[in-house]
Amino acid sequence: MSDADSIVGLIPRLRRYARALAGDKAAADDLVQDTLERAWAKLHLYRRGTDLRAWMFTVMHNVFVNQLRASRPGVQLEDDLPELSRPARETESLELRDLDRAIRRLPPEQREVLLLVVLEDMSYDEAARTLGIPIGTVMSRLARAREKLRSMLSGLPPGGKLHVIK
């Protein structure tokens, strides 16, 4: 399989990750397009025999960070849900909405690690290489992201304990 065919095969995964990062379908499509353009222009830097998926996600991460820096002071995220393949029951839809909002409220560095490990099923090592950070940092950010999600979704403060005032 050629590099072009391999890259085309990764587009659905890139779109899913971009949608989770960008929070907006149009912005995600733009991110994927920018990623594909950058990857194609820099394909000569890809080392044959290494993980093309991780390389493409690294390119996307770098493009996304560059776009965030360029668009400061902030990024506007939409509150719409991702498209579902089947109609969800009302409670499932509400749970998905709450989870989506909670993930968007995570700090970007925690959200990126969470999405790579949980959504894209990358190992800690793959996520570390993709983001250019130590594996221990991946583990720490993932633990903090999971803890924040638990507290946001349960309505409890971080740490999961209610403090009773006497």
For domain 1-75, give the CATH number: 1.10.1740.10
- Specify whether the CB–CB gap between 131 and 125 falls below 8 A: no
Per-residue buried b or exposed e for 59-84, using 16+ beta carbons within 10 Å of the residue's own CB: bbbbbbeebeeeeeeeeeeeeeeeee
pLDDT tens by residue, 88-144: 556 666 777 777 888 888 998 999 999 899 888 899 999 999 999 999 999 999 999
Domain boundaries, the chain: 1-75, 89-160
Between CA 114 and CA 106 the distance in angstroms is 10
CATH class for domain 89-160?
mainly alpha
C-alpha to C-alpha distance for 127 and 91, rounded to whole angstroms: 32
- 52-70 and 3-22 are packed helices; what angle lies between their axes, rounded to 10 degrees? 40
- pLDDT tens per residue across span 26-77: 989 999 999 999 999 998 888 888 889 989 999 998 898 888 777 765 445 5
pLDDT of residue 165: 54
pLDDT tens digits for 8-27? Answer: 999 999 998 898 888 788 98
Are 35 and 25 spatial neighbours (Cβ–Cβ below 8 Å)?
no
